[in-house]
Amino acid sequence: MVRTHINLTDTEFATAKAEADRLGLSVPEFLRRSLNGLIRNKENHDTTQQSNSPDSAPSPANTFDRFLGLWTESEANDFDNTVARRVDPDDWS
């Protein structure tokens, strides 16, 4: 892993900080994930362009890659709790 230092304008930092806070992330982690998402989108775009050629078939395994790692653990738990099915044992008798 490479460490780096960047300069942001006040507006860029405020925007990144607000979004990072909303997601429960540090600003560096938010920026790293954002950059990762851009890289994945570009790779998916490149893969899509290549898969449109007659010599290649689309790879179903790559279709959800762009969604990996986008949620914090807290967001994932909230989602799981929201969509969890609660089974009442009395309904099965």
- Concatenating the DSSP letter of every residue in 6-56 gives ----HHHHHHHHHHHHHHT--HHHHHHHHHHHHHHHHHHHHHHHHHTSTT-
pLDDT at 28: 93
pLDDT at 16: 93
What average pLDDT score do residues 44-54 get?
Answer: 57
Q: Which residue has the higher pLDDT, 65 or 5?
A: 5
Q: Which residue has the higher pLDDT, 53 or 93?
A: 93
Q: What is the pTM of this model?
A: 0.46
CA distances from 39 to 32, 33, 45 (A): 11, 10, 10
* CA gap 3, 36 in Å, rounded: 15
